[in-house]
Amino acid sequence: MCELAAQALLPVNTALAVALFVLLVLAAGTAAAFRLSPDESFGRARDIVVAGVRAAVQLGVVSLAIGWVVHYTAALLGFLLVMFSVAARTAGRRITQNPTWVWAALPVAGPVVPVVAGLVATGLLPFKGISLIPVTGILIGGALTATVLGGRRALDELTSRRGEVEACLALGFLDRDARLEVARPAASDALLPGLDQTRTVGLVTLPGAFVGMLLGGASPVMAGAVQLFVLIALMAVQAIAVAVTVELIARGRLHRAPRPVASSG
């Protein structure tokens, strides 16, 4: 029944393949035509094409892998570790292009691990791949987005407002505190997408967890409860991720070369 419902929503056939190709060309073509890149080149158009192709390949592989890993605990934990490692590397590389990117593992793992562990310990989340993988994946994805947005905004602000940081240092602020004064307000913008998604849920869109539960045969009330849990958990994870990211940047653990400000000694 679930399969029939999914087929009715979006049948997997030639028409779907054509639609995906057209949409990918449209996205890349728009980015190219309007030069939607930081340097006004065709870089973002190329990124869109590569991202689309990678998504198709990765989802194909993951779809096959999940069918196997859900039956073995070691394989399940290994799969979750791969998800986390990719997210940490992606976040770190987006924020900085030097070896400090490894610190991005903290804001990704810091909020996700205790939340998932707590849900499993209380019995709210079964320790089964079919449940654990999607929920953990959603939370890791939220931490990844918040870390990238918060980290980039904070470092951009420290670069453009370096004079203000130096002024704080001249007033006697510690290095960390001077950076926080500038970085924290900018990084807080990373929470806006999650806030807007939660505020408008059910009014603007019906998110994936809600639709997935309905397709699986759950009642609308149960689907709504699960979606509410996902949204609240995401806000908690993202808030912690941004807080940890800002702290790492303020302490100089995550930085670009050269560092935003010189050490005051």
Domain spans in the chain, listed from the N-terminal domain onward: 1-69, 73-265
* Paired strand residues for 201: 205
What radius of gyration, in Å, describes the C-alpha atoms of the chain? 21
Q: Which long-range contacts (CB under 8 A, 24 or more apart) does 232-237 make?
A: 232/198, 233/115, 233/139, 234/138, 234/139, 234/142, 234/194, 234/197, 234/198, 235/191, 235/194, 235/195, 235/198, 236/111, 236/115, 237/111, 237/112, 237/115, 237/139, 237/142, 237/143, 237/146
Whether residue 162 contacts residue 257, with contact meaning beta carbons closer than 8 Å, is answered with no
Q: What are phi and psi of 205, to 5 degrees?
A: -140, 160
pLDDT digits (tens, 9 = 90+) for 34-73: 989 888 888 999 999 999 999 999 988 988 888 888 888 8
Confidence of residue 1 (pLDDT cuts 50, 70, 90): very low
Among 219, 220, 217, CA closest to 4: 217
Name the least confident of 86-100, 179-193, 210-224, 242-256: 210-224
Token pair for 252: 């100089």
Q: How far is the C-alpha of 116 from the C-alpha of 33, rounded, in Å?
A: 43
- Calculate what percentage of the chain has a pLDDT beyond 70: 92
pLDDT of residue 12: 76
Confidence (pLDDT) at 258: 57
Going from the C-alpha of 219 to that of each of 130, 210, 223, 225, 228, the distances in angstroms are 19, 10, 6, 10, 14
Query: 27-41, 112-126, 153-167, 197-211: which has the minimum mean pLDDT?
Result: 197-211
Strand partners, 165: none
Cα-Cα end-to-end distance for the chain: 67
Residue 10 pLDDT > 70:
no
Residues in the chain, total: 265
Helix, strand counts (H, E) of the chain: 11, 0
Q: Contact 70/133 with Cβ under 8 angstroms?
A: yes
Sign of torsion over alpha carbons 137, 139, 142, 144: negative
| C-alpha–C-alpha distance, residues 57 and 124, integer Å | 32
205: which strand partners?
A: 201
Q: In the numeric block, which tokens belong to residue 11?
A: 């049948």
